Chains A and B, each alone.
Chain A
Amino acid sequence: MSDKKTITFALMDPPYENARSTTALRLINIAAQRGYNVNVFAYEGAVGLPFTKQSPHPNAVHGHDADEEDHPLPHVWIEAIAASAEAAGGKLDWINCGLCVDERGVHEALDFVRRGSPADLWQWAESSDNTLVIPTK
């Protein structure tokens, strides 16, 4: 087996709702920065993570405009992780569950995000060095 590892992650939580999403992206970022090939299968609400219509907003309670609020946008983080992977000699491959996307209407995703089904997760799990499923509660 080559030194370049391939690790698959399965995510289910939507953005902005649970620390699991943040931890998952931290893990994916670590693997990407090592130059690993990283597969992400987004299921259920996790298909909203690379949704490009997430937008910054002001916060009147804090008295911040949009720039001062600097609200985190997961799709921006994911794009940065993909760039880190490429710079380190690896690749971030991301598949959104197609039916989950249709149900939620989150079709506008980052360019490299592909549409797929749980069968893709099975194939990735078969071909990867390891797989971590991060289930929703």
Chain B
Amino acid sequence: MAKYLLIESRDPFDSNDVANFYEMASGLIREGNEVTLFLVQNGVLPARRSGASPPLTSLTRRGAEVLADDFSLRERGITEDRLAEGIQPSALDIVVDHLANGSKVIWH
């Protein structure tokens, strides 16, 4: 089992390939890997409860950890109480933690 940190910087309203990245996260979980999906920049927009957030909540129910960069959330006026089920705010430091600990880190 490998540890993966997938970093999504794009939002699904602007980039259709975001769904492919979520699907890759789902596939990695299905294969028995430990997956964290970290949302940053406009990637945090679907973290709000909205029509775009169910795929993220679904990932958390399958075992993924879904985190949203707290700085990106503040920039966009998204408060913690508006986050969809299962999504937690996080400092960017988590990315460096994963890099230092040898996770496979992929930026999209």
Contacts and interface: CB of A to CB of B under 8 A. Distances in A.
Contacts, number: 46
Interface stretch (A22-30, A42-50, A56-64, A103-111): A22-30
B92 A134 contact: no
B76 to A, nearest CB: 11
Contacts of A31: 96, 99-100
Interface residues on A, range: 10 to 19
Interface residues on B, range: 10 to 19
Contact of A27 (B10, B96, B102, B103): B96
A19 interface: yes
Interface of B: 9-10, 40-42, 71, 92-93, 95-96, 99-100, 102-103, 105, 107
Interface of A: 5, 7, 19-20, 23, 26-27, 30-31, 34, 36, 129-130, 132-135, 137
